[in-house]
Structure 1
Amino acid sequence: MKGKKLVPYSLCLLLTASGLSACATGTGSDTAQTQAKSGGDAKPIKLTFWSGVPAEAGPQQAVDNWNKQNPNIQVEYVRYVNDDAGNIKLDTALLTGQGVDLYATHNFPRFETRVKANVALDLGQFKDYNIDDMMGPEAADWKVDGKFYAMPTKKDLHFVWLNKDALDKAGLPVPYNWTWDDMRAYAKKLAEQKQWGMLQDLVTWDFVLDSPIAVEGAVKSDGTSNMDNPLTRKILENMHAMMYDDKSIPLYAEQLSKKMPVETEFLKGNSGMYYAGEWIFRFANNLKDNPRDFKIAIAPIPKVTKDQQNYRVFGGLGDAISINPQSKNIEAAWKFLKWYADGGMLPLAQGGRIPSSKAVNADESFKELLKGVEDKYDVDSVKKVLFSKDFKTFQSKLPQQMIDARKEQYQLYFTNNQTLDQMFSNLVKRHNEFLKQNKK
């Protein structure tokens, strides 16, 4: 990937490239009700459910449980890799009628694009389930034009994983109210133990930079770009200094070119901290493949400064599941989706996917999360962060084109191919051009 320009994501562009004339429209025929009512020797309805979660991390068990309980509606699970190539594979399947009935989207910009391409059903037509009520106020982050085209099904949160033993050796307490300067100091101190002070999952880099503008937005009141926000600048300065001055985190180019398996490195004890999220539980709880002799604690994502206003942490709810309007079995898909959200997905909890529905007891979910590995965690810090009411969350609403453009620019900065001032100058110029081109 090094040196390559990242291609902006667009379903309709994909359509054009595929030789298709327009985005999908309309709704599929409703054969589900007809078959369900026929009873007797009717063939079972078959649904296909796509998601980015590995089958062995819980989805297959959930689907197997459903299939045992519902012989008349059988579900097949299909995993796609949640990267650019994997999402294009899903989009192609949706747009060319390859039998996708339900699918999960794992970030909002991609989801919004799918809604605009008419490949997500408006769930408002179903009156037997109130998503706002069952999932809570954070579900609203997944609305498009005030409507639900997907049901967010899990609690979603980024946080900092900590090697508790390394912290104890360094005389550092498990942090809670802390800043990016504090995190830099922690990383520098932990690096003295001949390990990385901190590692960061590349998927989180963009969300880190979205946080400072989560409330006021990427566009200023005068209609111009806000992507050169001073708090964003401070985060980038800190990360650059940690690479080149402190040498407490890997060089960006090195991590990218070597495709560093950062979760494995952390679980081997080769880093004191790891900036990621709840999905890492599926690796950390798998002691057969990732044996470790240290306890893990977790801490919230730090504020940029102590006095930061509108502090937000990426998260809220995730794994937003949509029904394909072209499905021939919409009623059956809706029945499965409700079951899955209201507890059917519990087998995914040990992999960090805690159900967001109020139909599922939080203590039951937490017990499932750490089942059999309780002694490998600082349980108090894990529970405190995962169920904290001390910070608000956000979902990124930045258009995918600008996420790609920003990544292109910060890659040049982190590889010392341009200064920070040049980076922001180029980025703001690109953003203002984008805003002008897409002015309503």
Structure 2
Amino acid sequence: MRKNVLSMFAVFGLAFTLLAGCSGGGNNPDPEPNTSGNQQDTTNETPSAPEKVKIMFHTHGTEAQYNWQETISAFEEAYPNIDVELVTLSEKGDTTEATQKLDLAAASGEQLDVLMFSDPASYAQRVGLGMVASIDSFIEEEGYTVAEDYKVDTLMEGKYYALPGKFNPWYVLLNKDHLDEAGLSVPTDWTWDEFMEYAKALTQGEGASKRYGTYFHGPQSGGWMEFLRLAMANRAENTDFLLEDGSSNLDDPMFRRTLELRLKMEREDQSSTPYADMLSQKLHYRTQFFNESASMILIGSWMNSELGGTEQYPLNFNVAVAPYPKNEASDEIGYTPVTTDFMAVAEKSEHKKEAYQFIRWYTTEGLSKYGRNIPSWNNVSEGDLETIVDSILSETLKPENVDKESLIHVLSQSKSGKMIPPVTYQAEVYKALNEQYELLILGSQDLNATIENMKAAVQEIIDNNS
């Protein structure tokens, strides 16, 4: 096993004190009858109820995205000795903002019990910082195997620190009205070359009112790194910047192809929103799509709960869904990046057992019955998929504007390549790649220099943490 060095990301000098979590109470056997005359008569006392505890749940997810009120109420009914207090870290569901606020909460000594991370790097880094507790003992006590119970295996260097929540394959959202105007059909199986052709055909206008064929929401600030491995993700293995043994994967020709694709679409075709505009104007993918500034967006299927429009992002057109593009027409369809929520227990929690009970219930029964996302839990059959989709869309303002057939087609065939367990210094790798990409896309260095600089920077990080 590699020896991992803690990330240099020091959160205001955090010092995490390891506290042993405990829960009070329990049922006691009936006492012996009073025979001495000197003892208090306890013959008619009832067993004591479990001590009621309150756990704090910090999340990036909004009510509109996750249906927390109904979900938490159902959990508290099933576990009457546990109260869950929700702490929403971003009102707009921004994961970067949420992570920053979570770190501030930890630094200020707030009560932390259940933590929700949206990406492997954030999860791995905070495991390395000592913020997250191992849940191996709870899993062993319950007697199940994570890799068999869930579609996503969250194993990290031989231990489990989280259970996977939603199963969110990435797909392409399409403004169907724009497709109809351009005489384009909804793709059911396509390649990156065809994606680029669609983007060119859908681009219209000039200047501030220009409508782009597509909008890429990353990379930015070391996050949204899926947009730097577009061509790497459509296969069964070696889908990330690091290989399973921790070595660099940047010599992969599909990594170079991704950079070439991004350059061509922005510089030559001018069919994607400029990266500089994304940064300077602080653009967001929801606004770009629902305001019809971009006809297609590549994004995760957490958007299912918003496809029919919400009060914040109303829908005034018809929406369809296409699968993640393939590299070659002969490639197997369905491979796509898959995101999940890493549901974890805080190391400093004084109620680790209750926190674990919540994440186990939520990632199984809770998400299946009350959530607004497709669960990672394997006990949800494919036959239930349409019912879940109907339930999700029914909560939107205009479910009739969503091409449900195209959505179910994509969700039913989507599958994840082998996920590489994140390393604790993954955020450093992401930051280095992001910095070099900006130099490329903003015109400060060419493609060859960018790739060589990326390889050197990542290798140095690997060496420093070996």
Give the TM-score band, short-chain normalised.
Answer: 0.7 to 0.9
Shift of 1:231: 1.7
Q: Partners in 2 of 1:344 and 1:307 — Cα distance?
A: 39
Mapping of 1:216-255 within 5 angstroms? 216=238, 218=241, 225-255=248-278
**Structure 1 unaligned runs (5+)?**
1-8
Letter in 2 for 1:198: T
> Would you say 1:199 and 2:225 are equivalent positions?
no
Q: Deviations over 1:382-403 (max 9, x none)?
A: 0011121566464684711111
Query: Partner of 1:387 in structure 2?
Result: 412
Query: Partner of 2:189 in structure 1?
Result: 177
Q: Partners in 1 of 2:387 and 2:20 — Cα distance?
A: 37
2:358 to 336, 355, 374: 336
Q: Deviations over 1:266-321 (max 9, x none)?
A: 11333221111122234433343333332211112212344569994210x51111
Note closer, same or farther for the CA distance 1:236–1:252 as it changes in structure 2 (3 Å cut).
Answer: same
Shift of 1:101: 0.7
Query: Partner of 1:34 in structure 2?
Result: 25
Q: Partners in 1 of 2:231 and 2:204 — Cα distance?
A: 30
Letter in 2 for 1:421: N
Q: Partners in 2 of 1:70 and 1:330 — Cα distance?
A: 15
Mapping of 1:121-270 within 5 angstroms? 121-126=133-138, 127-128=141-142, 130-132=144-146, 135-136=149-150, 138-140=151-153, 142-192=154-204, 195-202=211-218, 205-210=224-229, 212-213=231-232, 215-216=237-238, 218=241, 225-270=248-293
1:284 to 301, 304, 307: 307
Whether contact under 8 Å (2:190, 2:326) holds in the other structure is: yes
Letter in 2 for 1:117: L
Q: Partners in 1 of 2:282 and 2:392 — Cα distance?
A: 28
Letter in 1 for 2:152: A
Note closer, same or farther for the CA distance 1:348–1:282 as it changes in structure 2 (3 Å cut).
Answer: farther
SS in 2 for 1:143: coil
2:390 to 355, 360, 367: 367
Shift of 1:36: 8.0
Whether contact under 8 Å (1:134, 1:357) holds in the other structure is: no
SS in 1 for 2:316: coil
Letter in 2 for 1:165: D
Q: Partners in 2 of 1:261 and 1:389 — Cα distance?
A: 25
Shift of 1:131: 4.8
Larger mean Cα displacement after TM superposition, 216-225 or 330-339: 216-225
1:101 to 99, 113, 117: 113
> Would you say 1:55 and 2:68 are equivalent positions?
no
> Would you say 1:378 and 2:403 are equivalent positions?
yes
Mapping of 1:13-32 within 5 angstroms? 13-14=9-10, 17-18=12-13, 20=15, 23-25=16-18, 27-30=19-22, 32=23
Q: Partners in 2 of 1:36 and 1:419 — Cα distance?
A: 70
Q: Deviations over 1:96-147 (max 9, x none)?
A: 64211111111112212222333322222122252526643x322x111232
2:82 to 67, 73, 81: 73
> Would you say 1:403 and 2:430 are equivalent positions?
yes
Larger mean Cα displacement after TM superposition, 357-366 or 166-175: 357-366
> Would you say 1:355 and 2:386 are equivalent positions?
no
**Structure 2 unaligned runs (5+)?**
29-45
Note closer, same or farther for the CA distance 1:284–1:10 as it changes in structure 2 (3 Å cut).
Answer: farther
Larger mean Cα displacement after TM superposition, 33-42 or 423-432: 33-42
Q: Partners in 1 of 2:21 and 2:178 — Cα distance?
A: 58
Letter in 2 for 1:63: I
Q: Partners in 2 of 1:94 and 1:321 — Cα distance?
A: 17
Whether contact under 8 Å (1:62, 1:346) holds in the other structure is: no
Query: Partner of 2:103 in structure 1?
Result: 91
Letter in 1 for 2:20: G
Whether contact under 8 Å (2:188, 2:323) holds in the other structure is: yes
Q: Partners in 1 of 2:256 and 2:226 — Cα distance?
A: 14
Letter in 1 for 2:228: L
Q: Partners in 2 of 1:355 and 1:222 — Cα distance?
A: 29
Note closer, same or farther for the CA distance 1:259–1:13 as it changes in structure 2 (3 Å cut).
Answer: closer
Q: Partners in 1 of 2:112 and 2:149 — Cα distance?
A: 25
Whether contact under 8 Å (1:35, 1:42) holds in the other structure is: yes
Query: Partner of 1:327 in structure 2?
Result: 349
Pairwise CA RMSD: 3.3
2:454 to 410, 423, 427: 427
SS in 2 for 1:148: coil
Note closer, same or farther for the CA distance 1:129–1:103 as it changes in structure 2 (3 Å cut).
Answer: farther
Q: Structure 1 length as normaliser, TM-score?
A: 0.84
Whether contact under 8 Å (2:286, 2:313) holds in the other structure is: no
Note closer, same or farther for the CA distance 1:268–1:91 as it changes in structure 2 (3 Å cut).
Answer: closer
Q: Deviations over 1:183-231 (max 9, x none)?
A: 1110000114762111122368511333555633645899964314322
Q: Deviations over 1:364-420 (max 9, x none)?
A: 322212226431111111001112156646468471111111111111111111111
SS in 2 for 1:197: strand
Larger Rg over CA atoms: 2
What is the aligned length? 421
